[in-house]
Amino acid sequence: MAVGINQSNFGRLIDFFSGRLDLEQRIIRVLHKKSFIEDPTRIIRAVRFEQRYKFTFEPQTLHLAYQAINNRMIEELSSARLKEELVLLLKEADPIPPLERLVYLGIWDYVFPETSFTEEILPSYQKNRDNGNNQQRSNGSWLKARSQISGVFRRDFSSPLRQFGA
């Protein structure tokens, strides 16, 4: 989508791909079949926006994401680009739903193969959330969980066994 800035079209919405309709219907859709192949960080970004805004993947877009994940396109990313997207995800008001979605999609296993999200990270956050504490970010359990996630980042991104090409 774009907005016209020339005098004859000033302020007019230009929408060749029905993006406005997708926004109204709360749908995430890629414009072409190689979108996730060309830039696999788009998958993580799409998950972040899907969870933040309560959108859903359009079925073909979800299929294309799975294809890219199954073809291990995430491993083609530099560690810096991957870390940047994951750090943005962690800065979400509630990063657990997008992290859970990464697990569901199978991205977590490629990025952190030696760490189980559900066994090592989620319990302390869930215990805090289940106790009705709405201030997860400042709570000790949440800080512990976030510290564990950050430790995983440091370990994975500095590991010579990772093949991210950075």
pLDDT (tens digit per residue) in 53-93: 999 999 999 999 999 999 999 888 888 888 899 889 988 88
Residue 60 CB partners (closer than 8 Å, separation 6+): 29
Q: Does residue 163 surpass a pLDDT of 80?
A: no
Which pLDDT belongs to residue 131?
Answer: 60
Q: Does residue 148 surpass a pLDDT of 70?
A: no
Which pLDDT belongs to residue 43?
Answer: 97
pLDDT tens readout for residues 104-142: 999 988 887 777 766 556 655 566 556 655 444 444 445
Which pLDDT belongs to residue 75?
Answer: 86
SS3 2: strand
Which pLDDT belongs to residue 77?
Answer: 87
Amino acid identity at 17: F
Which pLDDT belongs to residue 76?
Answer: 87
Domains defined along the chain, listed by start: 26-111 (1.10.110.30), 115-159 (no CATH)
Cα dihedral 155, 91, 58, 2 sign: negative
Prediction pTM value: 0.73
pLDDT tens readout for residues 20-50: 999 999 999 999 999 999 999 999 999 999 9
Confidence of residue 98 (pLDDT cuts 50, 70, 90): very high
162 phi-psi bin (left φ>0, alpha ψ -120 to 50, beta other): beta
**Higher pLDDT pick, 15 / 34:** 34
